[in-house]
Amino acid sequence: MRVLITGGAGFIGANLSRRLLDAGDIEVLAFDNLATGLRSNLDPSVRFIEGDLRDPDSLIRATSGVDAIVHLGALPSVPRSLNDPRTTNDVNVIGTLNLLEAARHNDVPHLIAASSSSVYGSNPAIPKVESLATVPVSPYAVSKLATEAYTNAYQTSFGLSAIAFRFFNVFGPLQRADHAYAAVIPRFLAATLSGKPLTVYGDGTQSRDFTSIHAVTDVLEKTLRRRVTSPTPVNLAFGARTSLNEVIDIIRSIHTGPIQVEYTDWRTGDVPHSQASAERLLELVPDARRPQLAAAIEEAYEWYAASAEVR
């Protein structure tokens, strides 16, 4: 099987490529413009294609002859989208449309697209069932809603075999902590290891359904191999909800030194709570792997401790 991963040099893409390569029977192509990904994340056996989702011709070439696409390429981050909504739209929405057109042009048999729990936005219902109304409150969330909607539309309109997963706060090794838009767990771990205060936007009671990268790559590999499809988006998380204060307590149990926490104003575009319903996911992938949160945070802690991320 030949699999193209867009955003292949990024955190999720590079972890997925490593998992697929370890299986031994999958050829991996990584498409990335290196805006947020790192070439060093990739195994030498991965065929790297430097290209941009905004360039339709490069996508036509990259998708030629592949058996499946995992579309992870995007400009992530709610705060980034608030600072630059147009670029977020161009990469995430127009880029997705360009990729779907390339897949249609080359008759690619199967496509998996990454959406986000952010599409639920200000809908207060907990847990987040896929049938809930989406009320996105940031340009990033709007762009991911468009990503999944285009994916579903191409199934209906053109017969593309596809599925869109809504990711919930994925974390783990290879996740960058060295830029302004870093996610919360890498920010906390990097600050802890460098002896800096942990900055919490709000009072720390806000909660998320944190998902280990290993759970995500497990589901993605099984979805690829079984050509799982769905006419509607599917949550990729397991129905847990952990507050930021509880995450800090887990880090305190791992780290031997003192940890200082600074609470500041809430951020625009953030939602107070997020928790997935996993019912639909487990119908499609009943044997999905579910690592324990504390063990997954400890693994990430050890990776950051051994990496240049916090030096």
pLDDT at 180 over 70: no
The structural domains of the chain, ordered by start, are: 2-172+211-239+275-290 (3.40.50.720), 184-205+241-273+300-310 (3.90.25.10)
Token pair, residue 226, equals 């079984």
Q: Exposed, middle or buried: residue 90 (CB in 10 Å: 0-12, 13-18, 19+)? A: middle
pLDDT, mean over the chain: 95
pLDDT score recorded for residue 151:
98
Residue 311 confidence (pLDDT): 42
- Residue 157: pLDDT above 50? yes
Residues 4-39: pLDDT tens digits?
Answer: 999 999 999 999 999 999 999 999 999 999 999 999
Predicted local confidence at residue 48, as pLDDT? 98
Q: Give the side-chain half-sphere CA count within 13 A for 111.
A: 35
Q: What's the whole-number mean pLDDT along residues 160-168?
A: 97
Q: Tens digit of pLDDT for each residue in 252-290? A: 999 999 999 999 998 877 778 899 999 999 999 999 998
pTM comes to: 0.94
Helix axes 139-158, 95-105, angle to 10 degrees: 20
Task: Tell me what pLDDT residue 78 has.
Answer: 87
